[in-house]
Amino acid sequence: MSGTEAGGDRVVGGVPEVDLTDPGVIRDPFTAYGRARERSPLVRLLIPGMPMWAVTRHEDARALLTDPRFEITESSFMRPDVPADCLPYMRTMSEMEGVEHLRLRRLVAPAFTARRAAAFRPRIERVVEGLLDDLPAHAEDGSVDLLWHFARPLPMDVICELVGIPEADRPSWREYGATIASGAGQAFAAAIPAIMRGAEAAVARRREEPGDDLLSDLVRVRDEDGDRLSEIELVMLVWQLVLSGQTPTNLIANAVAALLDHPEQLAALRADPAIVPRAVEELIRWCGPTLLTIPRHAREDVELYGVPIGKGEPVTVAVAAANRDPRAFADPDRLDVTRVPGTPGTASHLGFSHGPHFCVGASLARVQTEVALTALLRRFPVLSPAVPPAGLRVPDPGTWRLSALPVTV
C-alpha cells in the first residue's frame, strides 16, 4: 500500500520514502527521519536524478559502514567539471578502499591521534583567543556574525598550522575554505585549478624549507621511499586534508546555536566547564552537521531487511536518524550536555562515521570544538542570539548548517 504522510514521507510497499526536496524534511530532518526510522530500518530517499536507499537505525548503520558488500566509489561523489590537468588529483583518499586506502591513512593518521590533538591544544587556544579578541571589532548594529568571524576562520587556521601550509600561502587557503564551508558548488569548481596549484606550491616550499609538521613528514616519505607515496598522492593529500579540516566550522556554529536555544543546557555548561568534553559529544550527536554519509554502492545483488538491492545501487546512512535512535540512546530527542558517553543507554554517535572511513581528523575536531566553546562562554558571559537561528538554516539535505549566526556579545 502507499499513502502520503505528514512531513513529506510516503510508505510504498512497506518501505518509507523521504522526499529530500520537501520543505518540511529540509526544515526538520530529525523528525522526518525519526518517523521513517520507527517504521523501517531501511528507507528510500527521493533525490532528483539519484534516488538511494538509507539505513536509519544505529546498530544497522554501524553494520553497513563495515559491510564489505558495499564500497565507496567514484560515483559516490558529485565531481565537478575540472581541467584535464587537475583530474589526477581529484581521486582522494575518501574514495579509496582496501589496502590502497589503508596505505595512505597510515601515513597521515599519526598526525591526528588523540594524543597529538591534545598536544596541539595550546596552539589552538592561541588561535581561538586571537579570533575572540577581534570579535567585538566586527560588530555591526550591536551584533556580530559568529559563523563568519569565528567558526569559519578557526578550522582553517588550525589545519594550516598542523599540516604545515606556509604562512604566506594561508590567505588563499582561507578563501578556499570559505568557499567549501558555504557549500558553493560552482565556486568550488572554479577554484579547483588554483587549489591544486596551491597544494603544489606548498609541497615545493616544504621541500625547500622543511618544518615540524605533517607536510614536511609526507615530503620526506615521498622523497625517501616513493613506493609508499606518489607525487600525485602527496599533492592530493595536501588539498584534501586542508579542505576536509573545515568540518568544525558547522559543528561549532550548530553547537552554539543549540546552546543558545536551550538556556538550561547553556547554564549547566557555564556552571561546570569540566563537562565540556562530554557536552561536545552530545552536541555532535544531537546537532552535528552530517545528515547523510557518503553513499556506498552494492558490489553485488544483496538483500537488506527483506528488500532487494541491485548491484551498483547506492546506500547511505541517515546519521540524523541513527544518532537519535531510541534503541541506542535514552530519551534521544532531548539535548543533554551532562549525558555520559559509554554509559547504559548511550551508544557511540556516528557523527564522524564508523569503520575504515571513520573521520581521521575526529580528535582534532573535538579539541577545536572544546576549546572554542570553553573560551567563547568564558569571554562572553551574556552571549545571546541577535535573531532566531532557525530562520538561518541552509536548505541542504546532506549537511545541517547555518548561513550566518548573528549574536550579541
- Mean residue pLDDT across the chain: 91
Return d(Cα 82, Cα 176) in angstroms, integer.
16
Helix H or strand E encompassing 144: strand 144-145
Q: Model confidence at 390, in pLDDT bands (50, 70, 90)?
A: confident
pLDDT tens for 127-155 read: 999 999 999 999 998 899 999 999 999 99
What are the cell numbers at 183? 557549500
244-289, pLDDT tens digit by residue?
888 899 999 999 999 999 999 999 999 999 999 999 999 999 999 9
Its pTM stands at 0.92
Q: Which residues touch 36 (CB under 8 Å, ≥6 apart)?
A: 9, 16, 18, 43, 56, 318, 321
| Mean of pLDDT values over 384-390 | 90
Question: pLDDT at position 191, please?
Answer: 84
Check pLDDT > 70 for residue 2. no
Query: Please, what's the b/e burial string for 198-215 (b: 16 or more CB within 10 A of its CB; e: otherwise)?
Result: bbbbbbebbeeeeeebbb
pLDDT value at residue 179: 74
Q: What is the pLDDT of residues 291-333, one digit of tens each?
A: 999 999 999 999 999 999 999 999 999 999 999 999 999 999 9
Whole-number Cα distances in Å, 322 to 34, 198, 319, 395: 9, 38, 5, 21
Q: What is the DSSP string of 17-80?
A: EEETT-HHHHH-HHHHHHHHHHH-SEEEEE-TT--EEEE-SHHHHHHHTT-TTEE--GGGS-PP
Grid-cell match 536509519, residue found: 56
Evaluate if residue 8 carries a pLDDT over 50. Answer: no
> Percent of the chain, pLDDT > 70?
96
Residue 7 in this model has a pLDDT that exceeds 60: no
Give, to the nearest 10 degrees, the angle between helix 214-224 and helix 185-208.
70
Predicted confidence band at 183 (pLDDT cuts at 50, 70, 90)?
Answer: low
75-109 residue pLDDT tens: 888 777 788 888 888 888 988 999 999 999 999 99
Q: How far apart are CA 115 and CA 336, in angstroms?
A: 27
Q: What is the pLDDT of residue 80?
A: 76
Whether the pLDDT of residue 160 is over 50: the answer is yes
Q: How far is 48 from 397, CA to CA, in rounded Å?
A: 12
What pLDDT does 1 receive? Answer: 33
Q: Which three cell numbers stand for residue 39?
A: 517504521
Segment 349-366 shows an average pLDDT of 96
Unique residue bearing C-alpha cell 573545515: 246
Retrieve residue 279's grid coordinates: 557536552
Q: What is the pLDDT of residues 209-226, one digit of tens each?
A: 998 899 999 999 999 887
- Count other C-beta atoms under 10 Å from residue 196's C-beta: 22
Say yes or no to pLDDT of 30 above 90. Answer: yes
